[in-house]
Structure 1
Amino acid sequence: MWPLGIAYPPAREDGYWAPITSTLDWCEENYYATHYLAEIVNTLTNIWFMYLAFKGMFNCRRNGHDQVFFVAYLGYLVVGSGSFAFHATLKYPMQLVDELSMIYTTCLMFWATFAYNRTQAVQVSLGIASVSLSIFITGYYHYLQDPTFHQNAYAILTAFVLFRSIYVMEVNIRPYYRNRRVEREKAQSGRSLTAAEQSEEKRKDRRDSEILTTMWILIGYGLSIFLGGFGIWTLDNVYCSTLRVWRHEIGLPWGIVLEGHGWWHIMTGYGAYCYIQWGIWLRHCLNGRQDEFEMVWPGWFSIPYVEKRVAPVANGSVTNGSVSKKTS
């Protein structure tokens, strides 16, 4: 035992929610800490998920972000709550709530990403396609009861949304592409920009270049944490028997650090939260409201959020329009 460590109580099969009916049972031993929670660490780490969901919803309401992002955070809350219930009970219905809510929330972001700035007919068509895809995945997964199918479907959907968002960000915010559009408009109208207009375009170029730099940092940081959580979870699955031996050797509470699925919850929760915040900021930039909103990100170990500026930047002034170092 490590200093102040205590021995792990034995795992049990007669917990409050027994018997286990889920198709998955993770590496954490069951009911060793309490009669009422099948996997205590995997259960309680979802409180972080739920906290971030409420923080995101509050931020959307307070700052007037698009309604679709409030709904996305609501789905994020369902994911955290479903995962809490799943790991607490290891019941198949709770497993479906956990896993399928991930699919539904990602399908919502898929629609929000691909339907933006489209005609109403295209938005409706994409909405029907997204709902149909959700229904298909639900039915086929329930038929197969194969977690690999769910994991692959979630990964493919997430990749589609991520790469589409990156493409939209680059094409619409990168000054190079905007300047090409301005040049085309000048050529069509036969009018040259005034000195004031040229100065304003240069300000926007500086502002948007710095915004893009910060966005890429946020993307890389969030994605690294998300994939890091996935890597730890994979190691937890592959080396489960070894990790269980190590946990018993070092004892409680130190053994909790070796609960890889709990780290997956914490790290992917943060990564997913950052992705939605990036989506909020990107949407404001696409709407030409860079001077009205800012990303507040005090430091690497803080929680970023998009906030309405107290005093929007006036045309002609110089600002980076990117990151505030507020501590609130």
Structure 2
Amino acid sequence: MPSWLPSVPYPPARDDGYWAPITSTLDWCEENYYATPYSAEIVNTLTNTLFLYLGLRGLRNCRRHAHPRIFTLTFLGYLLVGAGSFAFHTTLKYPMQLVDELSMIYTTCLMFWATFEFGTRQPVPALLGVGTAALAVGITVWYHWCGDPTFHQNAYALLTACVLGRSMWVMERNLRPYFRRKAQASSASSGAVTEAEKREAARIDRRDEAIIVLMWKVIGVGLSVFLGGFAIWSLDNIYCSTLRRWRHAIGLPWGILLEGHGWWHLMTGLGAYFYIASALPPSRQNSWLTLWATQVWGIWLRHCLNGRQDEYELQWPSLWTSIPQVVKRASANGLAKRSS
């Protein structure tokens, strides 16, 4: 440790904290109860406050800009994931572990149903709902029986990949002017098109092309942050003993920067806020089954699928130093005037 950089030694880890004994099947690389007897993993606990902050920010944004009520529910689900993880890392108790992990599975299963039933007719949505519910129950029973965290992680990763892939396809198919024109050409009746209609069609094409570019930017940043967090978490698992040795060598507070699982919370929380999304037709907006973790991209995509691109926009002043939000265009103009 450089002599010019002040630090204090790490207190010893303990096994007699307030929530002892540990009953969870997972115990992460952060040493237990070294900072306080009331939190088993203090850094892993406090980094979940980002979920709570972004969840509350999302709820406020939904109320201020009149987003569909379903998104209020999705941000409540986002808050639940953060609160469950907060409780799990504080206590390292098995019931709290299940709250943390199974809330992720259930929310993603709802995303799965909501994404794949889009554009289908009965009885497909009902059958898909029954199948997805059976999948969620099956994952729960198997995970509780085998107790293997790798099974939970693989199930969550596979479900998430399916949801994201389908959502991107829905976005491209419905918003990309090339695909939209092909669909219109196959169903439109022949008739004269006025010059005003041609100009309006060209304006809509330019608008939607710009929206698609910015949407992919949101997805790219969100995915990069999410996968970066996963990489750091993996290194934290593989090189735990080395990282613990380095933390003790450099002392506090600098050793906190080597808490990989804490970085995982920060980066996946932000990445999920950016882009985890699905899309539902307007007729499904009030269904209880639409409780899924759809954040900024999902809100914007929903407005676009409802043909409201001229009413809403994505406000994102700086790519890496600000958090995007979907606002009414009148509100965005008002904010710009007040800031100028």
Q: How far apart in 1 are the matches of 2:192 and 2:182?
A: 14
1:193 partner SS: coil
Gaps of 5+ in 1: 314-323
Which residue identity lines up with residue 192 of structure 1 in the other structure? A
Structure 1 stretch 263-272 or stretch 172-181: which is displaced more?
Answer: 172-181
SS of the residue aligned with 2:67?
Answer: coil
How big is the shift at 1:104? 1.3
CA distance in 1, matches of 2:32, 2:331: 54
Q: Pick from 259, 274, 281: which aligns with 2:300? A: 281
Q: Which residue of 2 aligns with 1:131?
A: 133
| Contiguous gaps of at least 5 residues in structure 2 | 276-294
Can you list the C-alpha shifts for 1:104-152, whole angstroms capped at 9, x where unaligned? 1112222222223443643333333322222211111111110001000
Answer yes or no: is 1:305 the counterpart of 2:325. Answer: yes
Q: Cα 1:72–1:98, aligned 2, differ >3 Å: closer, same or farther?
A: same
Q: Which residue of 2 aligns with 1:60?
A: 62
Question: Which of 78, 100, 111 in structure 2 is aligned with 1:76?
Answer: 78
Deviates more, 1:17-26 or 1:102-111: 102-111
Question: Contact conserved, 2:300 with 2:326, CA < 8 A, in 1?
Answer: yes
Which region of structure 1 is more displaced relative to structure 2, 173-182 or 304-313? 304-313
TM-score, normalised on structure 2?
0.88
Deviation of the 1:76 alpha carbon: 1.2
Q: Can you list the C-alpha shifts for 1:269-291, whole angstroms capped at 9, x where unaligned?
A: 00001112111111111111111
* 1:213 counterpart residue number: 213
Residue 21 of structure 1 is matched in structure 2 by 23
Structural mapping, 1:30-109, within 5 Å: 30-109=32-111
Q: Secondary structure of 1:307's partner?
A: strand
Instruction: Give 2:151's aligned residue.
Output: 149
Q: Distance in 2 between matches of 1:311 and 1:178?
A: 29
The amino acid that maps onto 1:257 is L
- The 1:326/1:257 distance shift into structure 2, 3 A limit, reads farther
Q: Does the 8 Å CA contact 1:298/1:326 hold for their aligned counterparts?
A: no
Residue 50 of structure 1 aligns to which amino acid in structure 2?
L
- Partner AA of 1:39 in structure 2: E
> How far does residue 193 in structure 1 lie from its aligned partner after superposition?
1.4
Partner SS, residue 30 of structure 1: coil
Where relative contact order (Cα < 8 A, 6+ residues apart) is larger, the structure is: 2
Q: Tell me what 1:226 maps to.
A: 226
Cα distance in structure 2, aligned partners of 1:312 and 1:84: 34
Trace 1:291-302 onto structure 2 (pairs within 5 A): 291-299=310-318, 300-302=320-322
Equivalent of residue 158 in structure 1, options 157, 160, 165:
160
Cα distance in 1 for residues equivalent to 2:46 and 2:199: 54
CA distance in 2, matches of 1:211, 1:325: 23
Q: Deviations over 1:198-239 (max 9, x none)?
A: 001100110000000000111010000000000000000000
Q: Which residue of 1 aligns with 2:266?
A: 266
One-letter code aligned to 2:324: P
Structure 1 CA distance for aligned equivalents of residues 164 and 225 of structure 2: 15
Aligned-partner residue type, residue 171 of structure 2: M
SS at match of 2:330: coil
The structural deviation recorded for 1:254 is 0.2
Matches of 1:244 and 1:59, distance apart in 2: 40
1:39-79 C-alpha deviation (Å, 9 max, x unpaired)? 00000000011111111222223323233332222111111
Q: Percent identity?
A: 65
Shift of 1:177: 1.1
- The residue that corresponds to 2:282 in the other structure is none
SS of 1:310 mapped into structure 2: helix
